[in-house]
Amino acid sequence: MPPTPAPASLSPRKLRTRLAIIAAAGQVLPRRGVDAMTIEDVLETAGIARATFYAHFSDKNEVVREVVADMWRRASDLYARFAAMPSADEANLRDWLNYACAAWRERHGEIVSLLRDRPVEIAATSGRHLDEYVDILVGDGRHWRCSHREASCRARLLIVQLERALLDLARGAWPTSQAQLVDTLARLWLSALREP
């Protein structure tokens, strides 16, 4: 089977179809898991024919790799949204944290399934992605009142803390409400951003 065409080389219609297949796989994962998920599950969820699937992907594993790549892209977009805030004041930070909570809740099942069923693949690239997220979060340094090196260290800790808290919140294991978590995180993030 020929290699999957790069999304940049696809027409808008074909790109929409490809993204619909990836989204369908992401919807199936929480119900079935990676190993039990079948191409038929994806076909049914996406409402497409088998030939359409194979026009975009060679097998189930290839679409799962795209779901993983989409997970990393979404996280990058989340941190880019922080970097793009006009100012890192309490109101903007709370808005961003609430957005982060909603984004994680929306994709929780997919994330948990990937972490459970593809831990080696996730672990193999997580360090590289964490470095990328730190760079995005620190950005031009305008939100930070410390050296670039110190901002990078703080950003790394904040990201790890945030992602763990959001994972627990999304699975119902966080001991407080989302509002209380956002209050706590906002105080911690403001302190990390402001204190020299």
> Taking the domains of the chain in order of start, what are their residue ranges?
7-194
Tell me the one-letter amino acid at 152: S
**Angle between helices 60-83 and 90-117 in degrees, nearest 10:** 160
Architecture of the domain made up of 7-194: Orthogonal Bundle (1.10)
Per-residue pLDDT of the chain (196 residues; tens, 9 = 90+): 334 555 667 789 899 999 999 999 999 999 999 999 999 999 999 999 999 999 999 999 999 999 999 999 999 999 999 999 999 999 999 999 999 999 998 999 999 999 999 999 899 999 999 999 999 999 999 999 999 999 999 999 999 999 999 989 888 899 999 999 999 999 999 999 997 7
Q: What angle do CA 91, 162, 85 make, to 5 degrees?
A: 35
pTM (predicted TM-score): 0.86
